[in-house]
Amino acid sequence: MKAKLRQMPYARKEYISGAPPSKLSRFTLGKFSESFTNRYVLEAAEAGLLQHGALEAARVAANKVLQDRLGENNYFLRIIPYPHIVLRAHKFLAQAGADRLSQGMKNAYGKPVGLAARVRIGDPIMEVRVGDANPEVVKEAYRISSSKIPLKCRVRAFKAEGEEK
């Protein structure tokens, strides 16, 4: 979802009845080690909203590639944005003959249907730390996982000290 980034986020869950739980089950995967000298960041190339289902799908896709190619303890994957904005939808029937069931746009505030995280240009979405592994493995994992994200993304590589490669 890219719409409505100019508005205030609808995020106060203590006032929202029926706000759904996040589909994102884990934010960190793998095993963190000080010996992981290379850091690869998937960052947003455009601003938008990332739904929690898209973040979970991207996490599962990247983890699958990294675990198959590098092994379980040879990488550290972290999801950075937290989905806290509650998305609303005004549900109504639009088929033929549904005019008696639907009220149109009357009281069209919408019910909570999901969660999203707001990202801006250059914000990191995922971070992977590896040792001296082939960088093509991480780039392949990011290529597959970025297809699950509805925004354009780019990959940046860093050394452990923080400077870009």
What are the tens digits of pLDDT across the range 32-51? 888 889 999 999 999 999 99
How many domains is the chain partitioned into structurally? Answer: 1
pTM over 0.85: no
> Which residue range forms the structural domain that includes residue 38?
28-86+111-159
CA distance 129 to 25: 20
pLDDT value, residue 40: 95
Residue-wise pLDDT for 8-34, tens only, equals 787 787 788 888 888 988 999 888 888
Q: State the DSSP code for 164.
A: B
> Which CATH number goes with the domain that contains 115?
3.90.1170.10
Query: Does residue 9 form part of some domain?
Result: no
Query: Does residue 130 form part of some domain?
Result: yes
Order of strands, sheet of 153-159, starting from the edge strand that comes earlier in the sequence: 28-30, 75-79, 124-130, 38-44, 153-159
Query: Does residue 131 form part of some domain?
Result: yes
CA distance 148 to 131: 26
Residue-wise pLDDT for 136-146, tens only, equals 999 999 999 99
Query: Does residue 101 form part of some domain?
Result: no
pLDDT value, residue 2: 47
Residue-wise pLDDT for 68-124, tens only, equals 999 888 999 999 999 999 998 887 766 666 556 566 777 778 889 999 999 999 999
